[in-house]
Structure 1
Amino acid sequence: MKRLAFFLLAAMSVQAVEIIAHRGFSARAPENTLAAFELGWKHQTDACELDVYLTADGKTAVIHDKDTKRTAGVKLDVAKSNQADLTVLDAGSWKGKEWAKEKIPTLEQALATLPKGKQRFFIEVKCGAEIVPELKRILEPMKDRADQLAIIAFKRDAAAESKKALPWIKVYRLASGKTKDKKPTDLTQLIADTKADQLDGLDLGVADFPWDDTMVKQIRDAGFGLYVWTVNKPADVQRFAKLGVDGITTDDPVMVREALAKP
Structure 2
Amino acid sequence: MEVYTATWCFNCIDSEHALDEAIGDTDVTRIHYHRHKFETLDPFGSNSTDSRWEDGYGEASVIASRTGSSGGLERLAPSSVFDGERFYLGTKTKSNSLLTDYSTSLSVGSSHPFQPTDTLSLEVVKMECSTCNDSEYAFTIRWSNSLSASGDWSAEPVLLFVEHSAHYPDGVNGVEHYKHVLHEVVPDPMEDGLAPEWHYGEAGLLIPPPWDGDDMSVVLVIDWEIPATDKSNILPAPAVSTLLCFLAALVPVRARDSRL
What band does the TM-score fall into relative to the shorter chain? under 0.3
TM-score relative to the length of structure 2:
0.25
TM-score relative to the length of structure 1:
0.25
More relative contact order in 1 or in 2 (CA 8 Å, sep 6+)? 2
